Structure 1
Amino acid sequence: MFEHTVEKLLQENIYSRYRDEYQMLVTNKHGVEQENVEVNIDASTIQFLISLKVDCTSLPEYIQPVENDHTIWYNPLSPRLEQVLGNSRNMVLPEYKKDMILVDYVALVLKMIDNRIGIVADHFKMKKIYIMSLTAVRNRDIIEYDTETYNKAVFMYNVNDYYCLVTVNIGVKFPQEKPSVQLSSIYCQEGKQCTETLDKYPYNPTHRPDDNIDNLLQFLNEAVLKFKNHKH
């Protein structure tokens, strides 16, 4: 059984190395507050349970998932972090090397989390810019768009009085990978789904979203005319 005590760590000489590391951790300016560190000790093992403060202000808002079962999982990540970083069970932490001290390892873990947050935040920002730019250009034709994750927009497109729906979906590798674009006919008989995915429209991840959107819309003029004559 573990004994939940900091006093045991501080008082018994056999834990001198870890006592010094603990004191460095809670007094170092880059460390953590003492109340955010719990120490568990048994005959052969010492565990440090450390609550880290992470800046989540750049992350998208937490979206409450739909409950589909009654299973409860213990997860030391906050719901907001879990949603963007994944379940902690699948998180690969940096290796704790023998010559490392605790305060340096904590800093390494924080850096890893901060880097991941930066990637997620940048991805969300780029998605939002793209979708909002698209809705601004096609304002009157927008059918729907995702205002939570900015993963999707649907708008009506008209070429020579032929109308079709255009669905734009943004994937996890955006902006390196282009959004998927699908045309859907509004004229097909009930029960038939007439769609076409556009894979070859021009896209450059180094261009501004407005330029990529302009190129997509120009491409749609010809693509929609071809789609008009699709066979059922």
Structure 2
Amino acid sequence: MTPKLVALIQNDFRLQWRYRIIAAYIVVVALYATIIISAQDALPNWAIAILIYSDPAVLGFFFLGGLMMLEKGENVRTALAMSAISPTQYLAAKSISLTIIALGAVVVIALCAKTPIQAMPIILFATATTSIMFISIGAIVALRFKTINGYLIGSVPFVTPLIAPAALNLIDPLPLYAFILPPTAQLKLLLVGFSVGSASLAVITVCVLSCMSGAIGSFCFTQHLLKSELGDK
């Protein structure tokens, strides 16, 4: 990790604190934790897995869009276009900072749910790859809008079809090839991490590869599109 990237990540955290994104999410996570602790065994593990998939794991999609809209309003991206910061560094800083927040939220939720420590790696892996994929997609969508409200409303038709394949996990048994779809694989790994259902080594392997390809592919495609806004450096 280069000093320039570290500086960008630190700046993103400052922006997120300045715009009260971190503070607001601390309150949300505290609410989730209170509900999980209060519900105890009454809250099924599949509900917690879906909660993580639909919120901490995908939160970067909405937060990234919000940050980009705020940057546009303050002409930050115009300054970035004139700087030596590359689209890859810009997107990497956003992906790392927002994914760290997502992972922190998931750790709190998992601990409140008394999740076994040995299940944490697969849960964190699924969260990280999901977060990176949706952050990257959020950046693509954000380029189409000029205001935060426009983004939040207009992004729904984009994100809904992307999340929808995760619902295939309701089918049991699900064919192995279905897990080639990243959303299906992402939720499956979270369900496995929370001991919901079973999965063979082949299923887990395909899910891991699918999650990785979704994150890497989305990131590479997005940083290529960002060259039109930040320049090719």
| TM-score normalised over the length of structure 2 | 0.24
Larger radius of gyration: 1
Structure (1 or 2) with the greater strand fraction: 1
Greater percentage in helix: 2
**TM-score w.r.t. length of structure 1:** 0.24
